């Protein structure tokens, strides 16, 4: 049986609002095996994004356990969380979050450059990934000079250049038309299949969720199926 890359047990998370606490997660448990591709579905406000933020080590649960690669995330300090995100997790969001003053090539290479990999190696790997996702002809362009589909493919290449164990994707096709959205989802499937990267993706679109291997449905801060 494949090892669990991600294991969450009884996660709770509430946020302060006015003078009360509003629960976002009410005891969520899930497990992702190596090579999993899981879509999380549910209406707005059901807790999808909160769950992804916790699983991506961008936020901390109020209670419960979260393990990535067998390491307990909830007890890590900020330095360890930063290292974990940089080395083991990739992120793709609805809005591409490319740095406007950097070229597409530099944006893709950024995780390796931050990890002090040499420019030569980082740029070589960025060029290879750009070719794989079909934007190698845009490497000298800046984010405002490429289409939304090309920007999201650049964001996807950036997210996996450091070979993470887990890719977190929050509504990755939400800003794209159907053609570009389909192309991006096909790339998710290809990277999941060929590189073995586990993917946890939030979406409200059943057609998007159908591209994953498994679907979890959430309602009112709980996994319901």
pLDDT in tens, 29-84: 999 998 999 999 988 888 888 999 999 998 889 899 999 988 899 899 999 998 89
Q: Which fold has domain 4-223?
A: Rossmann fold (3.40.50)
pTM of the model: 0.89
pLDDT at residue 2, rounded to an integer = 53
| Residues 163/195, Cβ–Cβ less than 8 Å | yes
| Token pair belonging to 162 | 């450091």
Q: Is 174 strand, coil or helix?
A: coil
Mean pLDDT for each consecutive 10-residue tract of the chain (225 residues)?
A: 80 84 88 91 86 91 90 91 89 85 95 91 94 90 91 90 90 81 86 89 88 90 84
pLDDT at residue 119, rounded to an integer = 93
pLDDT at residue 1, rounded to an integer = 40
Terminal alpha carbon distance of the chain:
22
| Token pair belonging to 36 | 């999993």
Domain ranges of the chain: 4-223
> Roughly what angle, to the nearest 10 degrees, separates helices 178-195 and 148-160?
20
């Amino acid at each position: 049986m494949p090892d669990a890359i991600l294991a969450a047990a009884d996660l709770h998370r509430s946020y302060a609002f006015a003078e009360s606490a509003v629960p976002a997660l009410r005891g969520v448990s899930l497990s992702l095996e190596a090579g999993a591709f899981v879509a999380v579905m549910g209406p707005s406000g059901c807790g999808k994004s909160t769950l992804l933020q916790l699983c991506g080590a961008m936020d901390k649960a109020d209670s419960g356990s979260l393990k990535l690669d067998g390491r307990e995330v909830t007890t890590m300090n900020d330095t360890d969380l930063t290292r974990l995100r940089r080395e083991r997790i990739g992120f793709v969001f609805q809005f591409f979050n490319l740095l406007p003053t950097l070229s597409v090539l530099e944006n893709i290479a950024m995780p390796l450059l931050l990890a002090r990999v040499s420019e030569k190696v980082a740029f070589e790997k960025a060029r290879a990934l750009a070719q794989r996702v079909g934007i190698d002809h845009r490497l000298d362009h800046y984010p405002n000079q490429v289409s939304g589909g090309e920007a999201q493919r650049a964001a996807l290449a950036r997210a996996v250049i450091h070979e993470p164990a887990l890719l977190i994707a929050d509504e990755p096709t939400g800003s794209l038309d159907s053609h570009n959205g389909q192309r991006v989802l096909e790339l998710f499937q290809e990277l999941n299949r060929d590189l073995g990267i586990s993917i946890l993706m939030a979406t409200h679109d059943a057609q998007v969720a159908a591209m994953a291997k498994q679907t979890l449905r959430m309602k009112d801060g709980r996994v319901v199926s």
